[in-house]
Amino acid sequence: MSKAFIAGSETTAFGSFPDRTGRDLFAEAGRAALDDAGLPPDAVDEVYYGNFVGTLAENQGHQGPLAAEALGTTAPSRRIESACASSGLAVRDAVRAVRSGEADLVVAGGMERMSNMGTAGATDGLSRAADDLFEIRAGVTFPAAYALLARAYFETFGGDREDLAAIAVKNHDNALGNDHAHLQESIVVDDVLEAQEIAAPLGLYDACPISDGAAAVVLASPSYAADHGLDAAVAITGSGHGGDTMALQDRDSLAKTPATREAAEMAYDEAGIDPDDIDLAEVHDCFTIAEVLALEALGLYGDGEAIDAAANGETRRDGSLPVNLSGGLKAKGHPVGATGAAQIAAVSSLLEGTHPRSDALEDATVGLAHNAGGTVASATVHVLEVVA
């Protein structure tokens, strides 16, 4: 498959910004990404914009044209919604547009602003990524849903809360070097174990924060990159998208996430690589158990083998497979519609050597970004490689 070159990328700081508008946040990230690429807004052929709860949080539909306007263009644009995987899917659609020859230069990204909704409002909005008929009406929220996944995993494969706590500690430690991260605070295992219980076995430090922020990536075709002399050292060489049932009750197992496995196999096949070729990964750790499920579904670990990877030091920044060097959703933050594009931006900058945590890597050439929607009813996986 042809490559989609990453010509530029940027994220805003992630945090609580209730007084800013979504279009303002996306303008900051998108224009900075174009500046990073050294390109003007009128060079953009199309805009792909991920957002989940904007119709609730900002009383705003038809957001695609607003996203384009925020960049300074009236290029054709569309909003893409796939819950927490919204901008991962936006990037995938953008990659396909570039590969097909329909576009030479595209901006893909996303934004979410939820702090203005308050904790109850944001929790209610986010719950709409679950099945309304069988889950939402029964009172299921995402902490409860991921607690069910954690319990199923423990019952099937083993593990305990201390294993999950090691993941939280690792990702908080990684975020200390990221000035765009929402939670820049060091924690220890006892902090996690002694924190308020949210939904057993998950506590406060097992969950990502409610974050505002935006991210954008500029993608170029090989011919455009060559003709315009773009400084694009990293390309997306594999892209995959997988799905599963919405309601947990309809799944064969709650201890596995087949949507991620399907997306990964597709991305690996396109890139012509195997899981063993991955040097680093940014995975969707909205809750600590989600990192475990992702690593196994991605084929980076066998079933039941990733639960103690952080505790054993394997996924720390000095380990054999650094995971979530940005701090992950757990500490970097999770502005839902921006997360997938932010992961792509992080992996790209890590491979380029411009990320604050790049010094943890030695000769890294292949990275992976995994973005999941809801309880992984949808998932995208992208393989990024150094090409120059």
Distance between CA 7 and CA 229 in Å, rounded?
A: 10
> Catalytic site residues?
84, 334
Cis status, amide bond into 40, omega within 30 of 0: no
Distance between CA 368 and CA 317 in Å, rounded?
A: 15
Distance between CA 321 and CA 169 in Å, rounded?
A: 16
SS3 223: helix
Distance between CA 284 and CA 370 in Å, rounded?
A: 6
Identity at 141, one-letter amino acid code: T
Q: What is the DSSP string of 331-364?
A: HT---GGGHHHHHHHHHHHHHHT-STTGGG-SS-
User: Quick one: which of 264, 262, 268, 257 has its CA closest to 291?
Assistant: 257
Other Cβ atoms closer than 10 A to 333? 30
First and final C-alpha spacing in the chain:
18
Query: Judging by beta carbons within 10 Å of its beta carbon (0-12, 13-18, 19+), is residue 222 exposed, middle or buried?
Result: middle
Query: Any idea which residue has 């995971």 for tokens?
Result: 323
Is 349:355 a contact under the CB 8 Å cutoff? yes
Distance between CA 88 and CA 346 in Å, rounded?
A: 13
Distance between CA 145 and CA 150 in Å, rounded?
A: 9
